Amino acid sequence: MEALSTNVHTLNVNDSQNVGLDASTTQNDHRLKKKSRAWQDLSTFPSKLPGDQIGAGDSFISYEFLEDSHEIFVDILNEVKWQTMSHATGEVPRLVCCQGDIDLRDGSMPVYRHPSDFSLPLLKWDNSVIKVKKAATEIIGHPLNHVLIQLYRGGTDFISEHSDKTLDVVPGSKIVNVSFGAQRTMRLRSKRTRVVESMDDINTRITERIHLPHNSIFVMGLKTNEQFLHGIQPDKRSHQDLNDVETAYGGFRISLTFRYIGTYLSYDSKLIWGIGATSKDLSTAHPTINCAKETSDEMLHAFGIENQSTNFARQSIYGNGFDVLHLNQFPSQTNGLCDIRMLFMSGLKEQDERVLSKLKEYNLVTKIINRPDLLNLGLVKNSVGQIISIIKSEDQCVTFRDVDQLHSTIQKTDEICKYLDRTYGPIITSQLPTPSTSHVSYDRVYEPAEDSFLLLDTLSSPEETQFLHEQFSKGNSPLILEVGVGSGVVLAFMVANAGIIIGRTDILPFGTDLNPFACNSAIQTIIKNADNTFNNMGTIFNADLATPFRSNQVDILIFNPPYVPAPLPRFTSFDNTGQKPSFEQDSYLLELSYAGGEDGMEVTNRLIEDLPRILSQTGVAYILFCKQNRPQEVISRIKSWNDNKWNAKIVGESGKKAGWEKLSIVRIWRSF
């Protein structure tokens, strides 16, 4: 079920029924004769059906897998970013794409290795593929974190017989193949265990055929994979010799092979670990090896053994693992990089050229993948004879995949150009818009004022953007926490402008607030103002300070505290779902936003003392103070912490009186 297979040198004969051998054929004639190049019509042979035992008894096929299968075929055909792939003998006779889980914490991703010159990049799940994965997972009962999607464009597209390589596959899991579109026939043949010396030896090989009609699911156990080869032969019959299910959907077949993978790559493909690597966990991950003939040949030799063995000793052959990623060459247009930006063209000249021009403007090395000509087709018959259109014009748009930690994927020309300007263009912070909070009810939620705007100006200042770019240029996705999020104006500003302020868009934004109305308002503010290319929304907790977070988890903390010297309100709770508004309730909620206790510092001091626990090793906090809070004394206190490993400085000040006091923003971070 994989994209490529090793060239296993077997006699090109099967039993006498399959190859049409005359009964008088002698053993010597058999050894010398070559099989006719005319492929047999496999569709006319008996096929395994639902309920039949298949292979080693751990495999089965089912029909009518999903209810909306016709729509899913069209969606997958149009949504998937089809690519070509090559191996030693040239381009494989199928179009392909890999999708899978990308960890939101660090961008790591599963990798499935097989005999190809280079490993395909892993793309994010398309919505249509997620539907198929979810249904398949329910059937087999274990996770599926990787899929190889292949497009057979007609009978001449095929895959040679092979065993799937299990180097990276979780032991005990199943391999799941789902088919949509035209029916093709898979052949299973038991592996040869000894040298062929007579016709009797040939006849001992078991051959099974499985028709793979539209909307079918074939589940293969690893024992069947160990004892049998499987493949789909070319079908060179003329169109008039094919039946309706074989010509359905214009002859296109989409194959999705899902696996549970236990080997992983870092987001930049530079580190590898897991069951198929030499290091079994992330903490000791080793660099990937690329284009190194000796180690590549060792892994290929192990693949060859698995392809031929009927009693594969996985531990002795694969046990030590391999760190090879690309066997013989890097993907084209990558300049030797492990990971590369990718641009999937739309086929619309004006749209494509605008993005290409923007990429050239910022000198970004990018692999260009042209839109397949096959997507220019129109109306076809589906598997039940209905005339349908298989092309969705709304999906004909250019798509850009970046090399940031979460591989941001952006569609449509305008959105891509905005993303490139924001992420790679010059920093023009004076033009950053203030998020709209027109939807917020200020009877219950603190209204943005001079203190909020000072935070926006400070965070987007040249000094702070440079600091944040340097501080977070590497590592996991930065987790941003705004304590006392209020209307959400500051957090929404950070989300919408993360590429400019921090230098990366793969952020994880969170907020906390004791006011439940503020929590709801902040979520709406972020959704309303954040660019729609941002796919990694965090959440807002109705909680006190940073209590929901584990130690050393927060990278950027922002706090506009209640700094007015006034008694702390008595903590109560007001339900925000059905309670009738009251003056007492509204007064209490607003009091939470300004009353800071003695000297206006009781709440602030609680947070400051907890910063060593809250912040990550590279974490930084931005806290607002008024003059009466004596920020210089706070700075001196922080610098005395932990053998002087902490630093603090004023990085922003209001230029005039803000209400009744002058305001300051203090940055707090560890010194190294």
* Rounded CA separation 413/20 (Å): 57
What would the pLDDT profile of 300-331 be if each residue is shown by its tens digit?
Answer: 999 999 998 888 988 889 988 999 998 765 55
Label the pairing between strands 539-541 and 508-512.
Answer: parallel
| Residue with token string 């008894």 | 57
Residue 658: predicted pLDDT: 44
The arrangement of strands across the sheet holding 159-162 comes to 159-162, 228-232, 184-190, 207-212
* Rounded CA separation 594/540 (Å): 20
Tell me which of 2.60.120.590, 3.30.1950.10, 3.40.50.2000, 3.40.50.300 is the CATH number of domain 17-265: 2.60.120.590
Region 366-372 average pLDDT: 90
Local confidence band at 275 (pLDDT 50, 70, 90 cut-offs): very high
Residue 126: predicted pLDDT: 94
The region of weakest confidence among 10-14, 268-272, 478-482, 631-635 is 10-14
Residue 3 has pLDDT above 70, yes or no: no
Could you write out the DSSP letters of every residue in 323-359?
A: -B-SSS-PPTTSTT-SS-EEEE--S-HHHHHHHHHHH
Region 442-458 average pLDDT: 86
Residue 344 has pLDDT above 80, yes or no: yes
What would the pLDDT profile of 198-227 be if each residue is shown by its tens digit?
Answer: 555 555 788 999 999 999 999 999 999 999
Residue 499: HSE in the Cβ half-sphere, 13 Å Cα cutoff: 20
Q: What is the mean pLDDT of the chain?
A: 82
Closest by alpha carbon to 425, among 511, 361, 329, 355? 361
Burial class (CB in 10 A: 0-12, 13-18, 19+), 415: middle
What would the pLDDT profile of 380-419 be if each residue is shown by its tens digit?
Answer: 888 888 887 777 776 678 999 998 878 889 999 999 998 8
- Amino acid identity, position 121: P
Q: Residue length, the chain?
A: 672
In terms of CATH, what superfamily is 341-376+392-419?
Glutaredoxin (3.40.30.10)
The region of weakest confidence among 178-192, 345-359, 444-458, 595-609 is 595-609
Region 140-155 average pLDDT: 94
Residue 564 has pLDDT above 70, yes or no: no
Residue 553: predicted pLDDT: 92
Domains of the chain, by residue range, sit at 17-265, 341-376+392-419, 429-670
* Rounded CA separation 312/646 (Å): 57
Residue 514: predicted pLDDT: 86
What would the pLDDT profile of 238-255 be if each residue is shown by its tens digit?
Answer: 888 888 999 999 899 999
567 or 579, which is more confident: 567
What would the pLDDT profile of 475-531 be if each residue is shown by its tens digit?
Answer: 888 999 999 999 999 999 999 888 889 988 888 999 999 888 889 999 989 888 875
Residue 589: predicted pLDDT: 54
Residue 22 has pLDDT above 50, yes or no: no
What would the pLDDT profile of 515-563 be if each residue is shown by its tens digit?
Answer: 888 899 999 898 888 754 444 457 899 888 999 999 999 999 999 988 6
Q: At what angle do helices 516-529 and 489-496 cross, to 10 degrees?
A: 30
Closest by alpha carbon to 108, among 575, 646, 521, 477? 477
Contacts (Cβ under 8 Å, ≥6 apart) of 376: 347, 391
In terms of CATH, what superfamily is 429-670?
Vaccinia Virus protein VP39 (3.40.50.150)
Residue 395: predicted pLDDT: 67
Tokens of 561: 């505290």
Local confidence band at 596 (pLDDT 50, 70, 90 cut-offs): low
176 or 18, which is more confident: 176
Local confidence band at 192 (pLDDT 50, 70, 90 cut-offs): confident
- Amino acid identity, position 502: I
High-pLDDT (> 70) share of the chain, %: 79
The region of weakest confidence among 58-67, 152-161, 575-584 is 575-584
pTM score of the predicted model:
0.66
Region 128-141 average pLDDT: 96
The answer to whether the Cα torsion of 619, 624, 625, 631 is positive or negative is positive
Residue 578: HSE in the Cβ half-sphere, 13 Å Cα cutoff: 0
Is 215:180 a contact under the CB 8 Å cutoff? yes
Local confidence band at 33 (pLDDT 50, 70, 90 cut-offs): very low
Is 652:454 a contact under the CB 8 Å cutoff? yes
Residue 106: predicted pLDDT: 81
Residue 567: predicted pLDDT: 65
